[in-house]
Every structure is written in C-alpha cells, then in structure tokens.
Structure 1
Amino acid sequence: MIKNVNEPTIASTPVASRTSGSQTLARGLEVLRLVASTPAGVGINEVAEHAGIHRTGAYRLLNTLCDAQLLHRGADGRYRGAAGLLSLSASAYHSLLAAAEPLLRRYADELGATLALIVREGNEAIALRVMAPTSGVYHVSFTEASRHPLGLGAAGHAVLASEPAHPGEDPRVSSARTNGYAQTFGEVEPDMHGLAVPLNRDICQVSACLNLITVRSEQATSAIDVLQRAARELESALR
C-alpha cells in the first residue's frame, strides 16, 4: 500500500486541550469562593464533592491555595480563608480605602473607640479596615478580614440598609435605612454594643457601612451624630 505523504497524520498520543489549564484555574477559583464564604470551614471531602473531583485533586488545589496564603488548614482539619484574601479585597476597594483610612483614624481618636469599614461580600459582612484609637485606657478591638452573617449585628443591618428595600426584609434593616443608623447588643459578640451607619452605595460602589463596637451603652448612643458625620465626610471625599 502506498501512503499519501500529503495526508494529515494522527498523533499517537492525545493532544492536551488548550483549556485544561483554564479548567484547573476555574476549579481553584470555585473552591476558593466556597471556602471563603463558609466561616465554619470546609473539609476536603466537601471540596471534592463540590468541585466534582477526586480527593487527591481537591487536596492539590487546597495546598496550592494555602501556599498562596489565601486559605489555611485549621487544627480541626477544615479549610478557611486566610490573610491573603484581605490584600485581594483591599486591591478591589483601593479608592474606598484610600479615602476611609485617614478618616477612620481621626474619628477613632475623637470617639475613643474602634471603628471599622465594613463591606458586603456575598452573604457576609467583612471588616475591610479596622482602626483603634491611639489613646485611652482601653478599647474593644477585632481583626481585619473578620466576617459574620449579614443578618446579625448593627454592621450587617446597616450594610443591607445601604441597598434598596425589598419585600419581607428584616424590620431592623428598614429602621436603619429610615433612621440612618443601626444599633444592636450582643448579636455578634456577647456584651458588645454595635453602632453602624450605612454608606451611600451609589457613591461607594459597594454595599458598606461605618461601624463602632463598644462595651459602653452610652457611647453607642452618644456617637450616633459623630459617626453619621464621618459617613457623610467619607462620601464627600469619594465624589
């Protein structure tokens, strides 16, 4: 038999898809979203099932994300978001942070309390920036990148109040939208008073609020006007 030298040949081994790397990246991003949105952490079996891959593949993806400091594996063997996520968030909110940081520092000192810029990520409120006062005998502090469900705490209610109203929403969210602030006690942390003021979402380009946490009930009330002034000042800086 005479072979036609112009006839295309078929490779004896399969050619890798041009999208194989993209598929791996897509899976990694999906795993990252899953773990980052689950405060209680996610086990390797859950990751494998969610991504539709074998445990070995899930373990490889999780290790890569841990090496990048985007996730960490706790003592309980479950994976949670790590500090590297905060730097990604900070990059996404560069303009907002640039305007908020000096303002948070100044008003934290004026109020003698820890202030935070809280934004919405999925169904959670995340502390994008936390600023403690530089003076005072004591103050409450909490960690940047800490998260809690939007349905809890003054910050969660205020963040939702920055968005348009919708039927069936929590009455506390409606009240925060009407009054321009939200107050709670002990919803996120025991014995802590929360005060939060919604920020204009059209100006900030994200659902957000300014938040104050204190152990003093009188401070949570006396700071309302000052925190509202801080919110309006931040919005003016972003115009």
Structure 2
Amino acid sequence: MSDEQAAPTPAGSDTAKGQARQGGTSGKGASGSQTLARGLLTLEAVAGQPQGLSVQDVAQRLGVHRTIAYRILVTLADFRLVVRTSDGRYRAGSGMVTLARGYAAGIREAALPVLRRTADELGATVALIAAEGDEQVAVAVVEPRTVSYHLGYRVGSRHPLGIGAAGLALSSLRLPAPGEPAGAAEVRERGYARTFGEIEPGAYGVAVPLHTADPGLHLCVNLITTREDVADGAVPAMLTVAEELSALG
C-alpha cells in the first residue's frame, strides 16, 4: 500500500477483483483446489468489507449458487475466521487476529506500539507496508490521535509496486535491475522515498525501507499527510523509526 492510499475503494472493485480471480479457478482443476480458492476469495472479500457481506453478496462475487456460498461461510465461521452478526451478514472473525499475528514473524504486532507513537508525534497516519509479488499491501495502519484531520486507509489496501513513496522504498530493497521503477536507485542512495500526489491527489508520502535479518522480507514504514511541512520534517524521525523496526526482524 503506498503513500497516498487514502482514496476510498471504488464501489464494486472488490467484486471485480473477486470475479477476475475466480476466472482463474473456475476451470476443470481439482475440486479441492477450487473449493480452497473459493474459500480464500470469500475470506478476502469479507475481511475487506467492514459492513460485512450477506450470503447473496458472496454468491454473486464467486458466481456460485447461494447454497455453495452458505457452506463456505459456515466452514469459515467454524474456524472463527468470519462471524454471522444479528443482521445476517458475515464479518471478519476473531480467528483473523491469530492469522495476522503470525504474519512477518510477529513484526506486525511488535511494530504497532512504535507506529502508534510515531503517528501521534508526527500528527500523520503511519503504516507498515509489505511487498507481495508485484504489489504493496498495508499490513498495519495507525492513525494519529493528536490531530482532528488526517488521511487514512485500511489494512489490506493494495497498489502496484513501484508507485508512491512506499512502492519506491520497497523496490529499493530488490537488486538493481533494468526496468526497475524510476527513483528506486535514489532511495537506495539516500535511504528514503518522498513523493507527492502519485496515488492520492494532494497527498505527500514519506517511506523508509526496513533492513531486517530476513532478506526475503521486504517491508517499509510509510507516512501520509496533506501537509508539506509535516512531510519535510518527518524524514529524520522516519529514518529512526525504520532502524527501530528493522531491529525487530
């Protein structure tokens, strides 16, 4: 997820994504793998909707009968990954917390207090962003409690790698290669990325790559703000925070 991920998810975008991915699992593959794929798509869809999804919503997203969607949701509920609320809709369950704690060898949980402190000190939203293939995804997002107005975005937000401050910071962790995003080499040299308006108009981003003990784990700490002075003044603090978070890995 990148520096300017404050833009709300367009209505129907999750549906489109689910239908696109379903297209890759709807062939004549093994029924077990298709069932697993449907379950994972359902879990991703429910987790991405704070208001929850109904059985019919899930059926439409997967392109399956309501009975199949219901069975998938019941199975996920058995493992507490989703929960059925009084309005009949399904929302993310407590089992998701357990899964999240295991992500990135516990760095996410350990990073949260540091992100909270930094967000409050700088008066801007601060996040831990990870590279997953050719995408960047927000794995922890903390909004400041010290200001009345700020930009924000949800955990799980995704953008292509290489755009925005976080995308450049993450790209800089890879070996130099022809065709890499413009600016990645500069980030390697100066240690941080700073962008403006690359994803969200009017938003500044400052991101610093983490150098953990695991070379395969590509993470960065990222800040978004609408104020240029905050972005400029945040660089020293963000560099210090990145060192602190790198030590956790």
TM-score normalized with structure 2 length: 0.66
Preserved CA contact (<8 Å) 2:101 2:109:
no
Match of 1:215 among 226, 232, 236: 226
Q: 1:61 to 1:164 in 2, by over 3 A?
A: closer
In 2, Cα distance between equivalents of 1:117 and 1:49: 30
Find the residue that maps to 1:93 and give its secondary structure. Answer: helix
Preserved CA contact (<8 Å) 2:166 2:220:
yes
- Could you list the runs of 5+ residues in structure 2 that have no partner in the other structure? 1-13, 47-52, 63-90
In 1, Cα distance between equivalents of 2:234 and 2:17: 35
Matched, 1:135 2:146: yes
In 2, Cα distance between equivalents of 1:183 and 1:149: 17
Match of 1:53 among 16, 19, 28: 28
Matched, 1:41 2:17: yes
Q: 1:66 to 1:180 in 2, by over 3 A?
A: closer
Alignment: residue pair count: 196
Residue 44 of structure 2 corresponds to which residue in structure 1? 70
In 2, Cα distance between equivalents of 1:39 and 1:235: 36
Q: 1:123 to 1:201 in 2, by over 3 A?
A: farther
Residue 107 of structure 1 corresponds to which residue in structure 2? 118
Q: 1:144 to 1:51 in 2, by over 3 A?
A: same
In 1, Cα distance between equivalents of 2:245 and 2:146: 23
Residue 172 of structure 2 corresponds to which residue in structure 1? 161
In 1, Cα distance between equivalents of 2:230 and 2:61: 38
In 2, Cα distance between equivalents of 1:132 and 1:113: 7
In 2, Cα distance between equivalents of 1:39 and 1:181: 35
- Which digits, 9 at most, give the CA deviation of each residue in 1:59-107, with x for residues without a partner? 966654466x2335869x546xx96897545422242113211111111
- Could you list the runs of 5+ residues in structure 1 that have no partner in the other structure? 1-37
Amino acid at match of 1:47: Q
Find the residue that maps to 1:212 and give its secondary structure. Answer: strand
In 2, Cα distance between equivalents of 1:66 and 1:58: 12
Deviation at 1:144, TM superposition (A): 0.8
CA RMSD, Structure 1 to Structure 2 (Å): 3.3
In 1, Cα distance between equivalents of 2:215 and 2:111: 11
Match of 1:98 among 96, 104, 109: 109
Q: 1:58 to 1:202 in 2, by over 3 A?
A: closer
Deviation at 1:112, TM superposition (A): 1.0
In 1, Cα distance between equivalents of 2:214 and 2:39: 37
Residue 187 of structure 2 corresponds to which residue in structure 1? 176
Preserved CA contact (<8 Å) 2:171 2:181:
no
Residue 202 of structure 2 corresponds to which residue in structure 1? 191
Give % identity: 37
In 1, Cα distance between equivalents of 2:182 and 2:167: 13
Amino acid at match of 1:144: V
In 2, Cα distance between equivalents of 1:148 and 1:129: 15
Q: 1:53 to 1:47 in 2, by over 3 A?
A: farther
In 1, Cα distance between equivalents of 2:24 and 2:175: 36
Residue 233 of structure 1 corresponds to which residue in structure 2? 244
Preserved CA contact (<8 Å) 1:47 1:58:
no
